[in-house]
């Protein structure tokens, strides 16, 4: 069964993760890159990168940020997308980002990550899917059967 998540449910699920993906355009082509992130109660997302990376090009772009959770055993999961404007954040002048930075946003990538970016949400959407156990209503792929 596929269900839409309310905005409050989406924001709650955003807060449970630490790795998400940023989708954006570079030279007219889509890119999707993983980031470590933090978010606040409004859905504002912050992440860090280093100068010279593709992620450092998101400043001023409309982007999508996606995070999900999957339970393979239960054949269930959820996905949340934050659509909004990305901008470089200068922590000395951005109190919300500073509060998120103070929570200890740790980057798994090696080396210093000195450039901070935020995604200010314009639209937050999400959905949850759960397997009902009724295979007669499932029109997808089953292991061993290609259709």
The mean pLDDT value of the chain amounts to 83
What sign does the CA torsion over 72, 73, 75, 80 have?
negative
84 pLDDT more than 60:
yes
Instruction: Give 86-131 pLDDT, tens digit per residue.
Output: 999 876 555 665 665 666 666 756 666 678 899 999 999 999 988 7
**142 within some domain:** no
145 pLDDT more than 60:
no
Nearest CA to 67 among 4, 3, 133, 19?
19
pLDDT at 146: 45
**146 within some domain:** no
**143 within some domain:** no
**54 within some domain:** yes
What sign does the CA torsion over 19, 53, 46, 126 have?
negative
Cα–Cα distance for residue pair 27/31, rounded to 1 Å: 10
pTM: 0.79
**111 within some domain:** yes
Token pair for 48: 């860090």
pLDDT at 115: 82
Q: What is the CATH number of the domain that holds 111?
A: 2.30.110.10
Structural domain of 58: 2-137
**144 within some domain:** no
| pLDDT, greater one: 89 or 68 | 68
147 pLDDT more than 50:
no
**56 within some domain:** yes
**9 within some domain:** yes
Number of compact structural domains in the chain: 1
């Amino acid at each position: 069964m596929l269900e839409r998540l309310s905005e409050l449910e989406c924001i709650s699920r955003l807060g449970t993760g630490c790795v998400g993906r940023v989708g954006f355009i570079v030279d007219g082509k889509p890119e999707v890159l993983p980031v470590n992130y933090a978010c606040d109660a409004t859905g504002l997302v912050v992440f860090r990168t280093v100068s010279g990376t593709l992620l450092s090009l998101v400043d001023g772009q409309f982007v999508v940020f996606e995070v999900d959770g999957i339970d393979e055993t239960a054949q269930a999961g959820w996905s949340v997308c934050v659509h909004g404007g990305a901008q470089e954040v200068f922590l000395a002048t951005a109190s919300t980002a500073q509060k998120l930075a103070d929570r200890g946003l740790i980057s798994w990538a090696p080396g210093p990550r000195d450039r901070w970016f935020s995604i200010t949400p314009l639209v937050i959407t999400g959905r949850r899917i759960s397997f009902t156990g009724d295979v007669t209503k499932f029109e997808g792929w089953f292991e061993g059967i290609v259709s």
